[in-house]
Structure 1
Amino acid sequence: MKDIICKLLVIGAGPGGYVCAIRAGQLGLDTVIVEAARPGGTCLTVGCIPSKALIHAAGEFAKVSDMATGSDPLGISLTRPAIELGRTVEWKDGIVSRLTNGVAGLLKKAKVKQVDGWARFRDGKTVAVETETGVQVIRAETVVIATGSVPVELPFLPFGGPVISSTEALSLATVPDRLAVVGGGYIGLELGTAFAKLGSRVTIVEALPRLLAQYDAELTRPVMKRLAGLGVEVLTGAKAKGMSKKSDALIVEAQDGSEKKIAADRVLVTVGRRPAVESWGLEEIDLDRNGPFIRIDDQCRTSMRGVYAIGDVTGEPMLAHRAMAQGEMVAEIVAGERRGWDKRCIPAICFTDPEVVSAGLTPDEAKAAGRDVKVGLFPFSANGRAMTLQGEDGFVRIVARADNHLILGMQAVGQGVSELSAAFGLAIEMGARLEDVAGTIHAHPTLGEAVQEAALRALGHALHI
């Protein structure tokens, strides 16, 4: 094949990679993107989007299941429902297909050349791509590494048979009767909650003292209450050791040192993700590392001139929206614009039941940084819209400097609070103060009123509590 020569080469078409390529194309850069699978990456094809589809389906099934018991507070009753998980997966796959086709169309619209295959570095400017028709050599002035991440595999619980990762969990044909989840982070809890709603008997095993350790205990308390209501068994301070000889149970070392077996048809391992840095020939260019991740500066430049890295391969937080923002920034830098990474916050969301969202500093983080703060918390039990949605268990919290009332962080837990993340991020990025949020008219009746009330409460004069 004839070598391809381009201005910008993007390796990986996940959220960071495809956004980088699209923006570069819009700016008139001769851009090539290489992807071995479908465009969209883990997030779109086997992560964020399909998991939210399953979570939604599980929530709908749980609603009608409650109605079938005759105890629904809305007065709705029906016969016992059933779910065909295969049809649910087909619906989920349809959404994924529409979105991956949409990304491919956007790349084409931006005049980005797409090469399907696995890229391997020969040097900092050249890669060889294994395609269906042979090896395609691509030479570029600038290269962006956007290879993403993959699930961490435990040596004593290798993937295969009853042991699955989140990827396999999202494509199961039937609901497992008994599901053991190893890892109490957001992935494990999102999927564990969904399968509990679908009818699985779920046990969550977490080595740390509590679940969702990345969020403070006040935020996660309503989530723990809901897990108990769903009948989910939670084992904290417990360590998974491996499968039983018959592969029908997970062996766990409990907090007191005793060993127990957890009967399980499937064992879902969600102990984190690691950067996808293998099999790309990165040893040929010897980039500086930050642990397992590629080290970058505030413009996503690596230790080699003309080579950038974005997204999960560069470290925490491993979030699609962080990768997208980095990808857009890098494209503009390559096009000659002055850009740098000066984000005040990157919202993080856990799509459990109820949902959890956090942007900026929590009260503990602010105090640990030596800040004197004001904290305003408004419960959804005093919000009319939350009551009508049967979502009264939760709150909105605002953290602000005590001296000038600059907002440092905003958090919430409750039904549908993920949609408040945009308002949280905007307030922090715009440098809003408590008075700005308190003085903004929030529509009634909405969950957003709790944001205004939290600001009012931090100022000492909440109106509805």
Structure 2
Amino acid sequence: MKEISCKLLVIGAGPGGYVCAIRAGQLGIDTVIVEAGKPGGTCLNVGCIPSKAMIHAAEEFEKVAHMASGSSPLGISVAAPVLDLGKTVAWKDGIVNRLTGGVAGLLKKAKVKTVYGWATFRDGKTVAVETETGTQIIRAETVVIATGSATVELPFLPFGGSVISSTEALALGEVPEKLAVAGGGYIGLELGMAFAKMGAAVTVVEALPRVLAQYDAELTRPVVKRLAQLGVEVMLGAKAKGVKGDALLVETADGKSTKIAADKILVTVGRKPVTEGWGLDQIDLDMAGKFIKIDDQCRSSMRGIYAIGDVTGEPMLAHRAMAQGEMVAEIVAGHKRSWDKRSIPAVCFTDPELVTAGLTPEEAKALGEIKIGQFPFAANGRAMTKLGEDGFVRVVARADNHLVLGIQAVGQGVSELAAAFGLALEMGARLEDIAGTIHAHPTQGEGFQEAALKALGHALHV
């Protein structure tokens, strides 16, 4: 039985884990990282990156199909397009492989030792890793748990056969003729809209009164409109109950039972932290529900054990995990750091895209009187030239001192505005700061400035 010792052991090489390990290596800390699969975790291998590749391919296919229909206002006409989904998936896999190889290279560059296998705690300082060549014992002064999350499986819709998770959806060899999506959250709608653009007849089943319930109704209205344009049927207040043959069994909002014919049933009802299988029972960690409880430095209840990323709770976002991982590495190196979660932008890659950062209008109102400025992309020149006029930018600020509390946007390509929104909140910007910043013309970013001007009472272009 082999044994190695290190100062820092990171369990999990997802976005949080690998960033933590790389930063620790840069700081001269003797670091080992353990990963059961490929570097990059869910996000890089079967989540964020591959899904965005497929979404982009679907967008490009729909553009060409729209031109082929002769209804494009751009004056462009082409022959009817044909989609080779196998080739698309191969392209997507190529991107993933380049990025996972890049992560492995960065770990090596930072002099981090990578051990591939499944780690199990023996005590708070020791883990046993089952590798291809046998059991590897690793002893560490400090341990970081970055085990991530996994897809929630419904007991009455177990994965297998026609019932698939997002992982299988991103590896299909052909576009299903009929796709049923159980769950109208961001994953279900991102993939559901993509497959609708590729030619599938899509039905979304959502138990709540509306889709994308984590966002306010005004923000999601353009997405709901686009779903209808794509021919996606949305069943609200409906519950998936099981599968029978080639159909999804559903209980409708009025309590009736019905069947939805489907070649594939995509289940996207959320994700859960991976807290089983790695010896949680061998250590004594306080939990916050199903998540590991942490403080503002990502310390767990056990000295010398930190936890980062999805295993520590919402929001389950890769960039949150990365920020936590970098911070923990610096704390281990002796730097003074704490976890500032004032602004963690969230992006939904539907059509159109959604971005939120900071407080919603409802959350801000609970703190006192506020000002809201909203600017429509219908009045933005760049949005018009991209046929992306449906949407807006909204800024929420305190009424007394104009401190910006939250920013939201919906529109074509607004994911790229997330950095500006996050920076404004992180720097403590006031409405006057945003309004007084010269924004390049013609860009959609001008909508941000105009929203701030609107909140101040003097928008220029609406």
TM band (smaller chain)? over 0.9
Could you say which residue in structure 1 is the equivalent of 2:242?
242
Aligned mates of 2:368, 2:439 — CA distance in 1: 29
Given candidates 420, 423, 438, the residue that maps to 1:423 is: 420
1:94 partner letter: G
Task: Give the match for residue 412 of structure 1.
Answer: 409
- The Cα shift of 1:158 comes to 0.2
TM-score between the two structures when normalised by the length of structure 1: 0.99
2:374 paired residue number: 377
1:451 is matched with which residue?
Answer: 448
Counterpart amino acid of residue 100 in structure 1: T
Q: Kindly state the Cα deviation for residue 67 of structure 1 after the two structures are TM-superposed.
A: 0.6
- Which AA in structure 2 matches 1:347? P
Aligned residue in 2 for 1:27: 27
**Corresponding position of 1:341:** 339
For residue 342 of structure 1, report the CA deviation from its aligned partner. 1.9
Question: Map of 1:161-176 to 2, 5 A cutoff?
Answer: 161-176=161-176
Shift of 1:2: 3.1
**Secondary structure in 2 matching 1:300:** coil
Partner of 1:274: 272
3-state SS of paired residue (1:400): strand
Q: Which residue of 2 aligns with 1:291?
A: 289
Q: Which residue of 2 aligns with 1:209?
A: 209
The CA distance in 1 between the partners of 2:35 and 2:209, in whole Å, is 40
Q: Does the CA-based 8 Å contact 2:181-2:188 persist in structure 1?
A: yes
Amino acid across the alignment from 1:397: R
Tell me how far 1:71 sits from its aligned partner.
0.8
Q: How much does 1:395 deviate?
A: 0.2
Could you tell me how far apart the structure 1 residues matched to 2:293 and 2:275 are? 12
Between the aligned partners of 2:191 and 2:363, the Cα distance in structure 1 is 28
Q: Secondary structure at the match of 2:172?
A: coil
Q: Select the residue among 422, 435, 443 that pairs with 2:432.
A: 435
Which residue of 1 is the match for residue 150 of structure 2? 150
Secondary structure in structure 2 of the residue aligned to 1:317: coil
**CA separation in 2, counterparts of 1:184 and 1:393?**
21
Structure 2 length normalisation: TM-score? 1.00
Tell me the secondary structure at the aligned position of residue 408 of structure 2.
strand
**Partner Cα separation in structure 1 for residue 381 and residue 136 of structure 2:** 60
Distance 2:368 2:168 in 1: 44
The answer to whether residue 316 in structure 2 is matched with residue 311 in structure 1 is: no
Q: Does 1:389 align with 2:362?
A: no
Q: CA deviation at 1:78?
A: 1.1
1:92-124 Cα shifts (integer Å, max 9, x gaps): 000000000000000000000000100000000
Alpha-carbon separation, structure 2, partners of 1:23 and 1:59: 36
1:331 to 329, 347, 363: 329
Runs of at least 5 residues in structure 1 that lack an aligned partner in the other structure: none
> Matched residues in 1 for 2:285 and 2:176: separation?
44
1:362 Cα shift? Answer: 1.2
Instruction: Give 1:343 deviation, angstroms.
Output: 2.7
Distance 1:256 1:343 in 2: 41
Aligned length: 462
* 1:140 and 2:143 aligned: no
**Contact preservation (8 Å) 2:143, 2:305:** yes
Q: Distance between the aligned counterparts of 2:258 and 2:2, measured in 1?
A: 61
1:39-59 CA distance string (max 9 Å, x none) = 000000000000000000000
Q: Which residue of 2 aligns with 1:178?
A: 178
Output the CA distance in 1 between the equivalents of 2:178 and 2:446: 41
Residues in 2 aligned to 1:301 and 1:316: alpha-carbon distance in whole angstroms: 16
Q: Residue type of the partner of 1:327? A: G
What is the match of residue 320 of structure 2? 322
Alpha-carbon contact 1:343-1:429 (below 8 Å) kept = no
Large movers: runs of 4+ above 4 Å: none
Q: Is the 8 A contact 1:183 1:269 kept in 2?
A: yes
Q: CA deviation at 1:177?
A: 0.3
* RMSD across aligned positions (CA): 0.6
Q: Distance in 1 between matches of 2:236 and 2:55?
A: 24
Which residue number corresponds to residue 40 of structure 2?
40
- Find the counterpart in structure 1 of residue 218 from structure 2: 218
Q: 8 Å contact 2:2–2:135 — kept in the other structure? A: no
Deviations 1:290-339 (A, max 9, x none): 11111111111111110000000001000000000000000001111111
Indicate conservation of the 8 Å contact 1:193/1:352, yes or no: yes
Residues of 1 paired with 2:40 and 2:441: CA distance?
A: 37
Secondary structure of the residue that 2:2 maps to in structure 1? coil
Percent sequence identity over aligned pairs:
79
Decide whether the 8 Å contact of 1:237 with 1:254 is kept in 2.
Answer: yes
> Does the 8 Å CA contact 2:6/2:32 hold for their aligned counterparts?
yes
Amino acid corresponding to residue 122 of structure 2 in structure 1 = R
Asked whether the equivalents of residues 3 and 137 of structure 1 are also in contact (C-alpha less than 8 Å), the reply is yes
Q: CA deviation at 1:370?
A: 2.9
SS at match of 2:275: coil
Partner of 1:263: 261
> Which whole-Å CA distance do the structure 2 matches of 1:118 and 1:362 have between them?
40
Aligned to 2:383, the other structure's residue is in SS state helix
Q: Deviations over 1:110-144 (max 9, x none)?
A: 00000010000000000000000000000000000
For residues 229 and 258 of structure 2, what CA distance do their matches in structure 1 show? 24
Structure 2 Cα separation of the partners of residues 432 and 366 of structure 1 = 16
CA drift of 1:364 comes to: 1.2
Q: Distance in 1 between the 2:349 and 2:61 partners?
A: 17
In 2, distance between residues paired with 1:3 and 1:101? 27
